[in-house]
């Protein structure tokens, strides 16, 4: 069977979505009165809903539209449709209808300690549902995202073979379809007009300057409809054209316009970041002879691009990009001092301190945080001063200087309690940090009391279903786990995970932390099968969210290796320990405490392997 629409492999056609929409309409109309399985693919839920609204409107009144959402507890396509039909008299008597099915995007790929994940249950139903669907005489449009589609092809091949068409929709290729919506504040797609691109810019970008820049860019840099700007080999002449135009622009306008360009020309994330970096570097080169506040802003702007990349786990060579971000922040700080630009200096100092802290360079980080704190206190900026006090306390805690950390946290709390700051979120976080230090000292009574104070504050301020409440519950779970109070610990962990699963996507790092905590709890109880399932889930989340080359991924690999080692599965543990160490060396450096710990773990495993080989 040939699909009506093949997987799109070209980004040159701005009408691809419109063509796919037309094909979907034709397929639906040709299938009225008989079973037809149509699969629609879209990663953007809002965009998907607009398409559904459009075809339902267009098909009426001849064809009556219905929608059904899969039940996550029992994600059966057949059961969902059967329940819909049983509850509707028209469907029981007529076949001039179309049924749209959504909800697959809500199904978790994680097993979370269960035998199968929600997605695996869904695919299991699909694989054996083909014959049962014959009783339905309607076209059925099943909406999935690309992740679900790829898994469906592999795990439900029988269902896949019955499809009548697959229709792909991408927000990147979207132009005409969006214009059926009502949003006035949307950046529209581009339309090719001969050798010129007409860019529609919304009012909320404010200012004719941006529009003029757009026209200058198009007139001077876009000599054809080729998409050379979208590649990693962007022409030097085009970059120079951008740089020349941006000489006239404020830093805010530059950022706004780069956002617009990346959106308009549909650049993938990595290419968009590379483009930003090239522009900023070009502007810095042009500005080097003019030591000015503008150059300071360019240094800080370029550093921020790298900092965001580090936070997302994108860099392949993590430490290299850390060092680049550090260098640009150092340049900005040096120039700020030279020009006596005190306003904003504290922020750059703090960002540089955070980078050093992440590298384990604690003394340098403390010096920078302290200077930032002095500036803020002199300005009477108590809300930010609390954050810097907490930064300093966190480093003291990391170094094992617990009494110093307690003193600093109490200083932060006193600022709030004296009425100099009113941010309840920061106050509760500081209380939670203080409890963590008591916890590390083994002062379990003080830790429990302080954790519960933070929890009470958060519930009162935010309600019971809030991410910060989940953090407090997790911390209490950890405290009870370390005291051997496993029933209480599991209860708190499960409460935390339940809140997070309601509020967050299943690839959120906080969920990975909760899953990891449960795994370690089960490990300590010798419930190794459950522990392994949760450790694998935590690793999958972190790899999906952060990529394979991130310190948190290294931590998950190390934990899983430790479990295998405890089970005597040395051959499985060894490559995981090696991978964890390699990531740590790349991202944190040889001398970082975490790297040293991973090296110690693999050395201990090597000793055990040697002993086991010598044993008769």
pLDDT reported for residue 171: 62
End-to-end CA distance of the chain: 61
Any domain includes 125: yes
**pLDDT single digits (tens) 249-291:** 778 777 877 787 777 677 777 778 888 888 888 889 888 888 8
Helix axes 424-440, 444-462, angle to 10 degrees: 160
pLDDT reported for residue 154: 80
How far is the C-alpha of 149 from the C-alpha of 162, rounded, in Å? Answer: 14
> Which of the four pLDDT bands, split at 50, 70 and 90, describes residue 44?
confident
Q: What is the mean pLDDT of residues 4-16?
A: 42
pLDDT reported for residue 28: 93
Any domain includes 463: no
Dihedrals phi, psi of 193, to nearest 5 degrees: -130, 90
- Give me the half-sphere count of Cα atoms (radius 13 Å) on the Cβ side of residue 204: 7
**pLDDT single digits (tens) 461-501:** 999 999 999 999 999 999 999 999 999 999 999 999 999 98
Any domain includes 78: yes
| Confidence (pTM) | 0.60
Q: Cβ distance 499 to 473 under 8 Å?
A: yes
Higher pLDDT, 405 or 16: 405
Q: What is the mean pLDDT of residues 351-355?
A: 94
Residue-range definition of the domain harbouring residue 59: 16-180
How far is the C-alpha of 138 from the C-alpha of 66, rounded, in Å? Answer: 11
For the chain, the average pLDDT equals 81
Q: What is the mean pLDDT of residues 541-559?
A: 88
Chosen domain end from 120, 148, 180: 180
Any domain includes 611: yes
Any domain includes 53: yes
pLDDT reported for residue 616: 56
* Residue entry with tokens 């132009």: 175
Helix axes 382-398, 362-379, angle to 10 degrees: 160
The mean-pLDDT minimum among 7-16, 351-360, 435-444, 448-457 falls in 7-16
Please determine, for residue 566, whether its predicted confidence score (pLDDT) is greater than 60.
Answer: yes
42: CATH: 3.40.50
pLDDT reported for residue 125: 87
Any domain includes 575: yes
**pLDDT single digits (tens) 321-347:** 889 999 999 999 999 999 999 999 999
Any domain includes 156: yes
Residues linked to residue 374 through DSSP beta bridges, in sequence order: none
> Which of the four pLDDT bands, split at 50, 70 and 90, describes residue 239?
low
CA 263 distance to own-chain centroid: 19
Dihedrals phi, psi of 441, to nearest 5 degrees: -80, -10
At residue 258's C-alpha, the angle toward residues 257 and 260, to 5°, is: 65
603: CATH: 1.25.40
Higher pLDDT, 403 or 149: 403
Chosen domain end from 180, 208, 233: 180
> Taking the CB of residue 480, how many other CB atoms lie within 10 A of it?
21
Q: Is the dihedral of CA 534, 536, 537, 543 positive or negative?
A: positive
Q: Cβ distance 61 to 189 under 8 Å?
A: no
Higher pLDDT, 182 or 365: 365
Residues linked to residue 139 through DSSP beta bridges, in sequence order: 36
Q: Is the dihedral of CA 273, 275, 281, 286 positive or negative?
A: negative
How far is the C-alpha of 494 from the C-alpha of 472, rounded, in Å? Answer: 12
| 568 Cβ neighbours under 8 A, 6+ residues apart | none
Chosen domain end from 180, 214, 237: 180
The token duo for 34 is: 């008989």
Residue from 193, 236, 238 nearest 220 by CA: 238
Strands 165-168 and 36-41: parallel
CA 115 distance to own-chain centroid: 27
How many domains does the chain divide into? 2
pLDDT reported for residue 259: 80
CA 440 distance to own-chain centroid: 30
- The continuous run of DSSP H or E covering 412 comes out as helix 402-417
Any domain includes 473: no
């Amino acid at each position: 069977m040939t699909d009506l629409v093949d997987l799109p492999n070209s980004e040159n056609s701005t009408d691809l979505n419109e063509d796919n929409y037309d094909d979907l309409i034709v397929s639906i109309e040709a299938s009225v009165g008989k079973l037809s399985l149509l699969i629609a693919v879209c990663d953007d839920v809002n965009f998907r809903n607009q398409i559904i609204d459009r075809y339902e409107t267009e098909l009426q009144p001849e064809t009556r539209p219905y929608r059904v959402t899969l039940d996550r507890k029992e994600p059966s396509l057949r059961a969902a449709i059967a329940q819909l039909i049983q509850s509707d008299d028209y469907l029981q008597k007529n076949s001039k209808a179309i049924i749209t099915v959504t909800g697959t995007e809500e199904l978790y790929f994680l097993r979370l300690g269960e035998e199968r994940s929600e997605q695996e249950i869904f695919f299991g139903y699909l694989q054996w549902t083909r014959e049962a669907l014959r009783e339905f005489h309607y076209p059925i449009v099943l909406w999935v995202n690309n992740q679900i589609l790829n898994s469906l092809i592999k795990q439900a091949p029988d269902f896949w073979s019955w499809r009548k068409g697959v229709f792909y929709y991408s927000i990147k290729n979207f132009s005409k379809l969006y214009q059926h919506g009502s949003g006035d504040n949307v950046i529209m797609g581009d339309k090719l007009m001969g050798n010129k691109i007409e860019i529609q810019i919304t009012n909320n970008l404010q200012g004719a300057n941006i529009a003029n820049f757009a026209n200058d860019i198009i007139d001077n840099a876009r000599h054809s409809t080729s998409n050379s700007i979208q590649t990693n080999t962007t022409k030097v002449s085009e970059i120079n054209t951008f740089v020349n135009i941006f000489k006239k622009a404020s830093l805010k306008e530059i950022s706004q316009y780069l956002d617009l360009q990346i959106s308009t020309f549909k650049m993938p994330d990595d290419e968009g970041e590379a483009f930003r970096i090239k522009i900023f570097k070009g502007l810095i080169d042009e500005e080097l002879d003019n030591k000015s506040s503008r150059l300071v802003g360019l240094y800080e702007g370029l550093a921020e691009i790298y900092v965001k990349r580090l936070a997302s786990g994108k860099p392949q060579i993590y430490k290299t990009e850390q060092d680049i971000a550090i260098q640009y922040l150092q340049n900005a700080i040096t120039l700020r001092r030279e020009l006596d630009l005190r306003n904003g200096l504290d922020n750059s100092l703090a960002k540089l301190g955070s980078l050093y802290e992440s590298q384990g360079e604690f003394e340098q980080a403390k010096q920078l945080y302290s200077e930032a704190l002095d500036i803020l206190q002199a300005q009477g900026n108590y809300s930010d001063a609390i954050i810097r006090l907490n930064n300093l306390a966190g480093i003291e805690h990391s170094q094992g200087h617990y009494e110093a950390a307690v003193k600093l946290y109490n200083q932060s709390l006193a600022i709030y309690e004296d009425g100099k700051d009113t941010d309840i979120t920061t106050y509760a976080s500081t209380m939670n940090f203080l409890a963590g230090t008591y916890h590390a000292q083994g002062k379990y009574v003080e830790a429990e009391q302080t954790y519960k104070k933070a929890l009470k504050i958060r519930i009162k301020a935010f309600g019971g279903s809030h991410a910060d409440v989940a953090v407090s519950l997790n911390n209490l779970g950890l405290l009870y786990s370390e005291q051997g109070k496993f029933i209480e610990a599991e209860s708190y962990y499960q409460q935390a995970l339940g809140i997070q699963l309601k509020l967050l996507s299943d690839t959120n790092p906080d969920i990975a932390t909760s899953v990891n905590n449960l795994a370690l709890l089960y490990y300590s109880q010798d419930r190794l099968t459950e522990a392994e399932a949760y450790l694998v889930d935590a690793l999958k989340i972190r790899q999906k969210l952060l990529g394979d080359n991130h310190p948190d991924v290294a931590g998950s690999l190390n934990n899983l290796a430790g479990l295998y080692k405890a089970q005597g599965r040395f051959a499985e543990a060894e490559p995981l320990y090696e991978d964890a160490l390699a990531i740590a060396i790349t991202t944190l450096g040889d001398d970082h405490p975490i790297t040293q710990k991973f090296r110690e773990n693999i050395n201990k495993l090597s000793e055990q392997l040697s002993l086991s080989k010598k044993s008769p």
